[in-house]
């Protein structure tokens, strides 16, 4: 992990400006391997007007690095900001999990958080209507634990094979290279299970007022395993202690033109003012029997578990109290993966989660390389004791002279059979096949309940936001949108249809 800096002040008014002492002396400038540079500006030439010599190693060093200073942009979660902080346990949950960082009230764990828009590009505004990524890295005594969630309790799809498609329709048209409402609504009207997420996205919650004023969710159901091997199914909720605040569609659009980095700047400036944002962690906890018999499939990420049925249980809180010193090193190179699970926490059989266990780590191998976990922001505070060796950009001793294989006769690292990776009597059996989630009436119950839960003004905002976007599509797609909405609520559909007629 990145250690805190010493004796450095930063300007809370302008996050792009660093205030440093005017009288400090950072010493002579060097090239990338520490050789002192005689002249930073003028290249080595044959006379004042002659060609540059190839032996000007510093010029070559500088230009060749410049040509390579960008790494591949994230396909999802490209635009974001982050900060360092700590997590502190406030309630005893040792009966639920043997995870060390949750083992005792008062225990603190250093962490790093990254918030982002999901489907937009690095250069896009961070006030656009889109879900927000809510990724947390906990540097625990048992290795890094990553909770890679969103600011919505559900997601568009429940099958991982659809993930690429639902992101593709939120990117650019392959011919015009422009965003396309036709692509977006063509796809989602053919996948009506997505409308629970879409109603959230087109409500005022789809444009949160920065990163500090939104909740975070695991969305997926995870497993917690205690010291006795007993399992519980759990959803994680991170509730903002700053209060939920959203932007109106008009204000979000205005900010996109005038302050496209509004959310990043808001988070940075708040921390510089020592107004440290915090979130309280709650669990929704179900026994294995309760999960099996619940009225909705707890492994279906398009569904919520009612808090009336399973109330929130407080666990702890995290506080963000330190800004990055270098955005690229700490935010852009931060690599989060749902597969980074410490003992006592395990994935459920949620299909989308299962797909993400592979996809996120694979992304980091592409973007950052096979040794991305050795970058300071991704490196655990515990020693890395592994036979996984070599590859590009090794940092450290690479295991030294110790044998890179297991087993060996030289006291090499060995597995720990006491690690709680799965619950007792974990048993899965069945006939291999491609089993379909069939769309049914139950898939429209929760979107219906959400619409009815909204206040009258919020319902109107949702209808206006939907109509404005859908109006940009072909008429046959507009009819399909209304048709899906009719399955949710007839009055809702009629009001959207009327708004489309006026557009």
**Residues with catalytic function:** 77, 150
> Cα(187)–Cα(102) distance, rounded to whole angstroms?
41
User: Who contacts 234 (Cβ-Cβ below 8 Å, separation ≥6)?
Assistant: 96, 221, 222, 223, 224, 283, 284, 285, 286
Instruction: Kindly tell me the burial class for residue 330, based on how many C-beta atoms sit within 10 Å of its own C-beta (0-12, 13-18, 19 or more).
Output: buried
d(CA 323, CA 270): 10
Residue with tokens 């219906």, as numbered in its chain? 448
Q: Do residues 235 and 217 lie in contact, with contact meaning Cβ atoms separated by under 8 Å?
A: yes
CB neighbour list of residue 354: distance below 8 Å, 6 or more residues apart: 160, 347
3-state secondary structure of 83: strand
φ and ψ of 213, to 5 deg:
-110, 35
What is the widest separation between alpha-carbon atoms in the chain? Answer: 84
* Dist CA 440 CA 89 (whole Å): 41
Q: Taking a C-beta distance cutoff of 8 angstroms, is the pair 347, 338 a contact? A: yes
DSSP 19-73: ---TT------B-TTSPBPS-SS---BSSTTSPBPTT-HHHHHHHHHHTT--PPP
Q: How far apart are CA 93 and CA 228, in angstroms?
A: 14
The 8-class DSSP code of residue 246 comes to: B
SS3 442: helix
User: Which residues, at least 6 apart from 486, have a Cβ–Cβ distance to it below 8 Å?
Assistant: 493
| Strand segments (E) across 288-341 | 313-322
**Looking at residue 346, what DSSP letter applies?**
E
Residue 90 near residue 241 (C-beta atoms within 8 A): no
- Cα 406 to Cα 415: distance, rounded to the nearest angstrom: 10
- Nearest Cα residue to 106 out of 90, 118, 87, 124: 90
Give the whole-angstrom CA distance, residue 305 versus residue 286: 10
Listed in sequence order, the residues at least 6 apart from 378 whose beta carbon sits closer than 8 Å to its beta carbon are 137, 144, 333, 334, 335, 372
């Amino acid at each position: 992990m990145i250690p805190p800096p010493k004796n450095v002040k930063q300007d809370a008014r302008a996050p792009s400006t660093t205030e440093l002492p005017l009288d400090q002396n950072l010493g002579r400038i060097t090239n990338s391997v520490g050789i002192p540079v005689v002249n930073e500006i003028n290249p080595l030439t044959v006379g004042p007007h002659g060609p540059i010599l190839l032996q000007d190693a510093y010029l070559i060093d500088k230009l060749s690095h410049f040509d390579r200073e960008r790494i591949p942009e994230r396909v999802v979660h490209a635009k974001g900001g982050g900060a360092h902080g700590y997590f502190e346990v406030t309630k005893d949950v040792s009966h639920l999990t043997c995870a060390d960082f949750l083992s005792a009230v008062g225990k603190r764990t250093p962490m790093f958080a990254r918030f982002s828009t999901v489907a937009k590009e690095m250069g896009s505004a961070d006030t656009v209507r889109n879900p927000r990524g809510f990724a947390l890295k906990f540097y625990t005594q048992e290795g890094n634990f990553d909770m890679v969630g969103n600011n919505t309790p559900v997601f568009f799809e429940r099958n991982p094979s659809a993930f690429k498609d639902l992101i593709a329709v939120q990117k650019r048209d392959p011919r015009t290279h422009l965003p396309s409402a036709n692509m977006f609504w063509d796809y989602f009207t053919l996948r009506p299970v997505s409308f629970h997420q879409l109603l959230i996205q087109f409500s005022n919650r789809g444009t949160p007022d920065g990163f500090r004023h939104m909740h975070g969710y695991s969305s997926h159901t995870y497993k917690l395993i205690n010291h006795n091997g007993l399992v519980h199914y759990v959803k994680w909720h991170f509730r903002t202690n700053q209060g939920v605040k959203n932007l109106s569609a008009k204000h979000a659009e205005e900010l996109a033109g005038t302050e496209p980095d509004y959310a990043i700047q808001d988070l940075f400036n708040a921390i510089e003012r020592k107004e440290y944002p915090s979130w309280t962690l709650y669990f929704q906890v179900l026994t294995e029997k309760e999960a099996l018999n619940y009225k909705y499939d707890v492994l279906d990420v398009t569904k919520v578990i009612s808090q009336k049925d399973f109330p929130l249980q407080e666990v702890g809180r995290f506080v963000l109290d330190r800004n990055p010193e270098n955005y690229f090193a700490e935010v852009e190179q931060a690599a989060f993966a749902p597969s980074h699970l410490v003992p006592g926490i395990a994935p459920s059989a949620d299909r989308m989660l299962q797909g993400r266990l592979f996809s996120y780590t694979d992304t980091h191998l592409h973007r950052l390389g096979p040794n991305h976990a050795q970058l300071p922001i991704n490196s655990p505070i515990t020693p890395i004791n592994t036979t996984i060796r070599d590859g590009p950009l090794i940092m450290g001793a690479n295991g030294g002279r110790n044998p890179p294989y297991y087993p060996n006769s030289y006291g090499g690292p060995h597995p720990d059979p006491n690690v709680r990776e799965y619950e007792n009597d974990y048993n899965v059996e069945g006939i291999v096949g491609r089993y379909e989630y069939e769309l049914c009436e139950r898939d429209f119950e929760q979107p219906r309940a959400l619409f009815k839960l909204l206040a009258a003004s919020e319902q109107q905002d949702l209808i206006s936001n939907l109509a404005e976007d859908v109006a940009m599509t072909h008429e046959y797609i507009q009819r399909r949108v209304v048709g899906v909405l009719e399955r949710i609520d007839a009055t809702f559909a009629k009001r959207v249809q009327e708004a489309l007629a006026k557009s």
